[in-house]
Amino acid sequence: MGNPPPTWKQLVAESLASLGGEAPLSALIEALHVHPLRPRTATWQATVRRVVRQYKVFEPFKTKGGRAAYRLLQESQVPETGSVPFADAHGEVQGMLLQIGRICGYETFTNTTDRVTRRLQGESIAQFATVRNDAQSLRGLPLERIRTIDVMWMAEDAEGLYPKIAFEVEESTKVKNGLIRLLRIPQRYHTLLYVIGKGQQEFGLFSRYIQDSPFREHSNRLCFRYYTDVKSFFSSGVEFAKNRACFLGTQDAQILAETPSQPLTPYDN
């Protein structure tokens, strides 16, 4: 079996790097016009414009002549937004989910409020989301319906990004609110939906709610996981990323450079 075709994000990043890391949009489109791996679609130029708006690794700026241009950032250079004085359990779980998504090869999304107010071991979780949360970047999605979801792992098809797996991190009576937000994702995406809870109280509420309408009709794709499940998955994912980098003889800077070095505090379930 051959290697999978590159994504549009990879094609644009590669072309921008070949132009010295920054270039006017017109020059980027010209470079992609002759790229041998570019999909030969009629709307490919519109796709390029969507991609540079969509991902935070492409930083927009204006040339001296006022032309639209983009600069390629390393993931660790993507600017953070806002600050908060302390971390909380919700933020740590949310940050871990965002990092796991990246380890698993997805683009990652979190809502505007949490990317400012939530932290993972003192670091803003904004840096772990690879997708901008704005209507221009995600204009193919019903963003007003789904933009408050805690975390989404996103895949890409010919129409653009779509939510493959979605998560709500909830405590106590907020479980029902989380379920309602998850069901705002249109069924056509066949998204897997997860509620992440701290302990037995949350699991009990989840189990009760999915017996009733409207949740009962979606019980085949609604799942519950504990905070400790996320921590375990995160730890194994980080170990896998390190082993992969060691085995392949290369640095996986996008993952390893942003992985907290201190052990995370376990949660009771």
pLDDT digits (tens, 9 = 90+) for 202-215: 999 999 999 999 99
pLDDT of 29 > 80? The answer is yes
What is the rounded distance in angstroms from the CA atom of residue 95 to the CA atom of residue 119? Answer: 7
Res. 190: pLDDT tops 90:
yes
Report the share of the chain in percent with pLDDT over 70.
84
Q: Spelled out in words, what is the top-level CATH class assigned to the domain 8-73?
A: mainly alpha
Given a cut of 70, whether residue 256 has pLDDT beyond it is: no
Res 97 pLDDT > 90: yes
| pLDDT, averaged across the chain | 81
Residues of the chain with CATH 1.10.10.10: 8-73
Structure-model confidence comparison of residues 5 and 172, the more confident one = 5
Position 248 scores a pLDDT of 72
Instruction: Give the pLDDT band of residue 175 (cuts 50, 70, 90).
Output: very high
Tell me the residue type at 42: A
Contact 154, 161 (CB under 8 A): yes
What are phi and psi for residue 16, nearest 5 degrees? Answer: -65, -40
> pLDDT at position 257, please?
44
* pLDDT at residue number 172: 65
Residue 1, SS3? coil
Report how far residue 34's alpha carbon sits from residue 198's, in angstroms, rounded to the nearest whole number: 52
Q: What per-residue confidence (pLDDT) applies to 86?
A: 39
Looking at the chain, which runs of residues are DSSP E strands?
A: 22-24, 58-62, 68-72, 107-110, 119-120, 123-124, 151-157, 160-170, 192-197, 222-226
Q: Is a pLDDT exceeding 60 seen at residue 252? A: no
- 116-to-84, 108, 127, 147, 148 alpha-carbon distances in Å: 7, 15, 10, 14, 13
Query: pLDDT for 104-152, tens place per residue?
Result: 889 999 888 777 778 777 778 888 888 877 766 677 788 888 888 999 9
Residue identified by tokens 């980098």 is: 245
pLDDT at position 83 is 37
Please state the rounded mean pLDDT for residues 172-196. Answer: 91
Most confident of 2-6, 52-56, 155-159, 217-221: 217-221
Residue 132 · residue 54 · CB < 8 Å: yes
- The pLDDT of residue 259 is above 60: no
81 has pLDDT over 60: no
Q: What is the pTM of this model?
A: 0.65
Residue 231 CB contacts under 8 Å (≥ 6 apart), including other chains:
93, 96, 264, 266, 267
